[in-house]
Structure 1
Amino acid sequence: MEGIIARLRMSAAAMPGAQRALAELVLADPDAVSHMTIVALAGRCGVSTGSVTRLCRALGLRGYPELRIALAADSGRIKAEPWSSTMGADVSEDDDIPRVAEVVRAAIRQAVGDTIGGLDLDAVGRAARALAAARRVWVFGIGGSGTVASELQQRLHPIGVPAWATLDPHLAVSGAALLGPRDALVGISHSGRTRETIDVLAQAASSGATTIAVTNDAASPLAGQASIPLITVVRQAGLRTEALSSRHGQLAVIDLLFIATAQCAVEQASRSVRTAQQAVAPRKERL
């Protein structure tokens, strides 16, 4: 039977605001929540006890005591079965490398295929034109999304787009404050609820810059604040590869965005690439 933590993961994104905030708090530390009173949990999240009760009912539970019991049971199972709780049921610790490779291949293929198939391509075109015309571009993300942000910056810079990326939220928000109507900012967050990324994008928007969001949740605050939201489609699977799959979905978006941006400024991109290649060529090891 599916555990309460898995059910929360699958349904949290579609929940109303207060319930979603509660779900995210529960998922952050289910064991701790299993020891909290309903008043303590509501106060920790800044919502009413009624919101906690509605969350329980949305999960098919009779009330908060049942949620606490379910969380305690799931937390105990996770401690007793660390492999399956972390990696899921699709692979076991005894599977051979070909089996593991097939599961990972399938997860990546689904993430990339679903994302490209579901993208608003008109939005991609608008984002590419904004990046190609921008005086400067900031790209920002936290954690795994920060790795993807750095990847986008490294692709844009050689084609002549003046782009910067940072993992420092203070530097990012100060940089966003200095942007203007001729600039752009790309905020990347799988959940669309990373507070630092939302704050940086909001600052860029208030400065008049074009804001582009790459997120997996069209209903998230990040997507709602962005001038141009680009939505990945990464579904939770049996294998706990959502972090890995989310990155591949994001990379598929930035691959497409990078190429479309280069197409919007072919002469500039070609000239910049040639110049960069000429600068690097003497430094490559000669065999």
Structure 2
Amino acid sequence: MAIYDNVLIKIRDMKDSLTPVEKMLADYILANVSEIPHLSIKNLAKASKTSDASVLRFCKTMGYGSYRSFIVSISTSIGSMNDEQKDQYTDIQPGDDLSTIISNISLNNCKSIEDTQSVLDRNEVAKAVKLLRGSSRIVFFGIGASGLVCKDAEQKFSRINKMCHAYTDGHSQLTAATLLGKGDVAIFISYSGDTAEILDTLEIAKKNGAHIIAITKINKSELADKANVLLGISTPEVTIRSGAMGSRIAMLTVIDILFAGVASAEYQNVKKYLTKTHNILASKHRR
């Protein structure tokens, strides 16, 4: 069972993908956070105009086996949620001066990393690292801004002698997925988890027996549901003006975590490869 450092952030991020009844509960909880730890199941059900059974189902959706464990997590999350409300994500506004832009973009990126740390399931990270260490080949699939994250991942894992490649357009992704087999690991990177090209590629990769790791928004999506390992990020894309800034930073952070996890576990070999690659690049710079 996945337990999150801040369940309130998870509720916020998952709200739009919940069932109508679950959304009623989510809205009530987020609007009345300080009251929730003092409510029984019956009182929460009555206040949110739902039912006892709906409350229990909601707890399970959020990763908790009982109402009590859910309430304990709510209590421990309240302090950090209060801090978060003081520093909300801020979008770029027309006419903002450079000082404001520097401050807001830096704050948004920092919060994306902090919020992702709060929802990232440590057990899933451990599973992902284990799969990557035992893989025959690693492939990264992503479109657009997610494709840039794939390229970063390819560069990192190549330096420690992992056979890997990033595929960032629909046609090459379908071709690469067709050639995958057991022992290969396919990492799918998609903020929404519903990108058509990614889902088409996912079906082929699964059919061929590859292990599937998803890096996507904490949400209910087809990609999240079909992955063997789910690494959830937390970052609202405020509006079209800010593009995919926050999600890109969060995804890059998850890639860094996976890379460091593999590198730490295989330190002796990794040190050798990093030294070799560093030396050859340094020799080029001296010319």
Report the AA paired with residue 171 of structure 2: H
Which residue is equivalent to 1:166? 167
RMSD of Structure 2 on Structure 1 (CA)? 2.4
In structure 2, relative to structure 1, the CA distance for the partners of 1:136 and 1:91 (3 Å cut) is closer
In structure 2, relative to structure 1, the CA distance for the partners of 1:261 and 1:210 (3 Å cut) is same
Which residue is equivalent to 2:203? 202
**8 A contact 1:159–1:273 mirrored in 2:** yes
**8 A contact 2:132–2:138 mirrored in 1:** yes
Whether 1:184 and 2:185 are equivalent positions in the alignment is yes
1:147-178, Cα deviation, whole Å (9 max, x unpaired):
00111111111012111012232222222222
Unaligned residue ranges in structure 1 (runs of 5+): 1-9, 18-87
Q: Secondary structure at the match of 1:113?
A: helix
Which residue is equivalent to 1:251? 252
Which residue is equivalent to 1:132? 133
Q: How many residue pairs align between the two structures?
A: 207
In structure 2, what is the Cα distance between the partners aligned to 1:183 and 1:172? 15
Whether 1:106 and 2:98 are equivalent positions in the alignment is no
Of residues 250-259 and 197-206 in structure 1, the stretch that sits farther from structure 2 once superposed is 197-206
**1:274, distance to aligned residue in structure 2 (A):** 1.5
**8 A contact 1:218–1:224 mirrored in 2:** no
Alignment of 1:45-60 (within 5 A): none
TM value normalised by structure 2: 0.66
1:112-164, Cα deviation, whole Å (9 max, x unpaired):
10001210011111111111221111101000000001111111110121110
**1:218, distance to aligned residue in structure 2 (A):** 3.1
**8 A contact 1:216–1:232 mirrored in 2:** yes
In structure 2, what is the Cα distance between the partners aligned to 1:197 and 1:236? 20
% same residue: 29
Which residue is equivalent to 1:14? 17
**8 A contact 1:135–1:162 mirrored in 2:** yes
Report the AA paired with residue 158 of structure 2: H
Unaligned residue ranges in structure 2 (runs of 5+): 1-12, 21-88
Report the AA paired with residue 131 of structure 2: A
Of residues 237-246 and 199-208 in structure 1, the stretch that sits farther from structure 2 once superposed is 237-246
Which residue is equivalent to 1:263? 264
**1:193, distance to aligned residue in structure 2 (A):** 0.4
**8 A contact 1:123–1:228 mirrored in 2:** yes
Report the AA paired with residue 180 of structure 2: L
TM value normalised by structure 1: 0.66
Which residue is equivalent to 1:228? 229
**8 A contact 1:132–1:261 mirrored in 2:** yes
Whether 1:121 and 2:118 are equivalent positions in the alignment is no
